[in-house]
Structure 1
Amino acid sequence: MSHRIIKALYIDDDAALGRLVQRILGRRGYEVEHVATAEAGLARLAEGGIDVVILDHDLGTTSGLAVLEDLRAREHAPPVVYVTASTELSIAVQALKAGAVDYVVKAIGDDFEVLLVAALEQAVERARLMRAKEEAEQQVRQAKDRAEMLLAEVNHRVANSLALVGSLVRMQAGAVKDTGAKAALAETQARITAIANLHRSLYTSTDVQQVDLAAYLETLVGELGNSITASGKTPIVKLDAEPVSIKTDRAVSVGMIATELVTNALKYAYPVGEGEVRVSVSRTPSNQIMLSVADDGIGWTGDGTAKGSGLGGKIIAAMSKSLGASLEYHSQPVGTLASITFDEKLGC
């Protein structure tokens, strides 16, 4: 127990017993205030400064249970030790259910003093521990809020920096004359954009550990569509995605794979620039996630492989491995369908 004087409020219409309790607890280092009615007790509690309440069951015109009900609705109400002259267990049960932390049966002799002091000490200590717990939880919440705010700011700055890098790459692509170099720079700019969009999704999200895959891919597909229009080509990129949330690091892999597959489809499926690329995200019957990119062009060679086997293929293989998946190409009457299927939480 602390050496600080404990202030107790004793609510009982028995004035003689009130004086007795004041003497008993005064010897134990308590400062006891006595009031005779529930109204006076509640008014005193509203003023504050009370550490513990000793509440009698029979208050004449009302019951101590009514006081307990009133205190239950008050924030940071002090703990209550219930006292009663009755030995009926039902009264003690009612009091404990109504919010009392302990109860003591009134009796003449030393037993009442010992039991009352023990109940008060436990009630005060329990209240102290509860306050310490609430303060610690509040500090944890504040620290978490600060960390999330800082992380959101980091993601914001990273997204802006990557967007700037992407713009510089696009400017460089516009300055070079070599067709191959121009295409390589355009692909690099698309990869940078994929990662930048992820960070943009994170700093606008309330959960930095999870990414709404449909919203992320919608932004990504929109960026790819804009870059296609700017290049003078006319293929359309469409997205059909079910609501799916995955971990942030896995979303990076999915975004990179989608970028490479869409880029490959645009490069090889429609040489003349007309057509449609369809990106979809769905759950399989086994509750896995499937990402697929399909076109109606000429990208499929017919021998089980797709055109293009350079850096894009290596990126797809690496990202698929991180997801615990592998890329599959499916035969279609027209065009190419490429897909990966992976578990939401598993992977390397």
Structure 2
Amino acid sequence: MFQPIANIEDAQTLAQAIVNTITEPFLVLDEQFRVLAASRSFYKTFEVDPAQTQGSLLYALGDGQWDIPALRLLLETIIPEKTAMDGFEVEHDFPRIGRRTMLLNARKVLYDHSSAITILLAFNDITARRVIEREKEELLSRTEDLLRQKDVLLREMEHRVANSLQIIASILLLKARSVTSEETRQHLKDAHQRVLSVAEVQRHLHTSAGIDEIDVGSYLPKLCSSLASSMVGEAQPITVTVTAEGGRMDSQRAVSLGLIVTELVLNAIKYAFPKEKTDARIQVSYETAGSDWKLTVSDNGVGKIANDVPATGLGTAIVEALVKQLEAKVEAISDTDGTSVSVTRATFTSRVPRAA
């Protein structure tokens, strides 16, 4: 059978025992903010004397170290209006234990048969947590600064590389114009175009939002336009068209892809139209399907039957090496309708017809 507490002394003993079981610092205050009870963890955490705490005004504890403006705001303004408050953050520099950040939970207790008010105040020391959070924020800020610096340095390097490549290309072109050997001149012009294809990647890196990615849809048309403007002669006008789907590619693969396009387009310009042909065309298409892609360079030239140029040489070797590097395969079709060379990564069915 339930036995009620016999007297006020027993009730106080029970209340103090309950308070002492709370692991976090805990206070029981009267309506004047005097300490009625405090947990052992409160005395231990804040290093205050129990004899000088019981019955004392909270703000006067520890020679006034608890006279904290934020704590006054909680007890004198918020609690009277709201009855309860959770997670009220207070930061204060205590003389003995140093600076502490605490979350305060407060409850105002009202009684049915008395006008007295009791305030329960629990402290959660989150100083260590806040230190860790600040360190993380500082580390994140430093990391972001380093990344921004890296971005600036990379873009400056890309800009300088692009300028250097342009200088090399110009030197090759000047040399091609000065040599007497037609074969040497042609080799120098080919080298000039290869350098330009790499420089085009660098220009895209410098102007694009990504640090190390190329938008293939805009890269290939510019590259082919550059090839056409410098290599197509007036004696045999050739239209170079590009159909390129969107998608991004890392700069290393973009360089390989650009060099393949350069070699195939140059080869078509030099060999597909040995005689003047009306409506001479070279078509470049780039199609994607997920991570797979297909590059096709086709022309409506004389094809292999009429073109006795052997499929050997530096250009062919370059294409084969680059195709292997891209883990792709190459397939060529050449007949009286022209030549079509496809470079495919994985299985892919083309949706773009060849030039005809």
Residue 231 of structure 2 aligns to a residue whose secondary structure is helix
Deviation at 1:299, TM superposition (A): 3.3
Q: Residue 80 of structure 2 aligns with which residue?
A: 60
One of 13, 30, 34 as aligned partner of 2:69: 34
Query: Against the structure 1 CA distance between its residues 82 and 35, is the aligned structure 2 distance closer, same or farther, given a 3 Å change threshold?
Result: closer
Q: Residue 164 of structure 2 aligns with which residue?
A: 161
Q: Is the 8 A contact 1:155 1:199 kept in 2?
A: yes
Q: Residue 211 of structure 1 aligns with which residue?
A: 214
Q: Residue 197 of structure 1 aligns with which residue?
A: 200
Partners of 2:77 and 2:335 in 1: CA distance:
82
With normalisation by structure 2, the TM-score equals 0.68
1:327 aligns with 2:344: no
Query: Against the structure 1 CA distance between its residues 68 and 30, is the aligned structure 2 distance closer, same or farther, given a 3 Å change threshold?
Result: closer
Partners of 1:176 and 1:207 in 2: CA distance:
41
Partners of 2:190 and 2:105 in 1: CA distance:
79
Q: Is the 8 A contact 2:216 2:247 kept in 1?
A: yes
Amino acid at match of 2:104: Y
Q: Residue 147 of structure 2 aligns with which residue?
A: 144
Query: Against the structure 1 CA distance between its residues 321 and 240, is the aligned structure 2 distance closer, same or farther, given a 3 Å change threshold?
Result: same
Partners of 1:166 and 1:185 in 2: CA distance:
9
Structure 1: gaps of 5 or more residues: 1-11, 42-53, 70-77, 88-104, 344-348
Q: Residue 321 of structure 2 aligns with which residue?
A: 318
Amino acid at match of 2:292: Q
Deviation at 1:206, TM superposition (A): 2.2
Q: Residue 83 of structure 1 aligns with which residue?
A: 105
Q: Residue 102 of structure 1 aligns with which residue?
A: none
Partners of 2:130 and 2:65 in 1: CA distance:
16
Structure with greater proportional helix content? 1
Residue 327 of structure 1 aligns to a residue whose secondary structure is strand
The sequence identity of aligned pairs, in percent, is 28
1:282 aligns with 2:287: yes
Structure 2: gaps of 5 or more residues: 1-28, 36-55, 90-99, 110-117, 347-356
1:237-290 per-position Cα deviation (integer Å, ceiling 9, x unaligned): 111000011111111110110100111111111113551111111024x75110
Higher Rg of the two aligned structures: 2
Query: Against the structure 1 CA distance between its residues 55 and 326, is the aligned structure 2 distance closer, same or farther, given a 3 Å change threshold?
Result: farther
One of 245, 268, 271 as aligned partner of 1:268: 271
Residue 190 of structure 2 aligns to a residue whose secondary structure is helix
Count of residue correspondences: 278
1:291 aligns with 2:295: yes
1:256 aligns with 2:262: no
Q: Is the 8 A contact 1:236 1:276 kept in 2?
A: yes
1:212-236 per-position Cα deviation (integer Å, ceiling 9, x unaligned): 1122212211110110246754111
Q: Residue 14 of structure 2 aligns with which residue?
A: none
Structure with greater proportional strand content? 2
1:88-135 per-position Cα deviation (integer Å, ceiling 9, x unaligned): xxxxxxxxxxxxxxxxx964xxxx6xx62xx12xx1221111111011
Q: Is the 8 A contact 1:209 1:247 kept in 2?
A: yes
Residue 59 of structure 1 aligns to a residue whose secondary structure is helix
Residue 314 of structure 1 aligns to a residue whose secondary structure is helix
Partners of 1:318 and 1:195 in 2: CA distance:
16
Deviation at 1:136, TM superposition (A): 0.3
With normalisation by structure 1, the TM-score equals 0.69
Q: Is the 8 A contact 1:55 1:82 kept in 2?
A: no
Query: Against the structure 1 CA distance between its residues 33 and 206, is the aligned structure 2 distance closer, same or farther, given a 3 Å change threshold?
Result: same
Query: Against the structure 1 CA distance between its residues 58 and 179, is the aligned structure 2 distance closer, same or farther, given a 3 Å change threshold?
Result: same
Query: Against the structure 1 CA distance between its residues 130 and 226, is the aligned structure 2 distance closer, same or farther, given a 3 Å change threshold?
Result: same
Q: Is the 8 A contact 1:220 1:255 kept in 2?
A: yes
CA RMSD of aligned residues (A): 3.6
1:16 aligns with 2:16: no
Residue 324 of structure 1 aligns to a residue whose secondary structure is coil
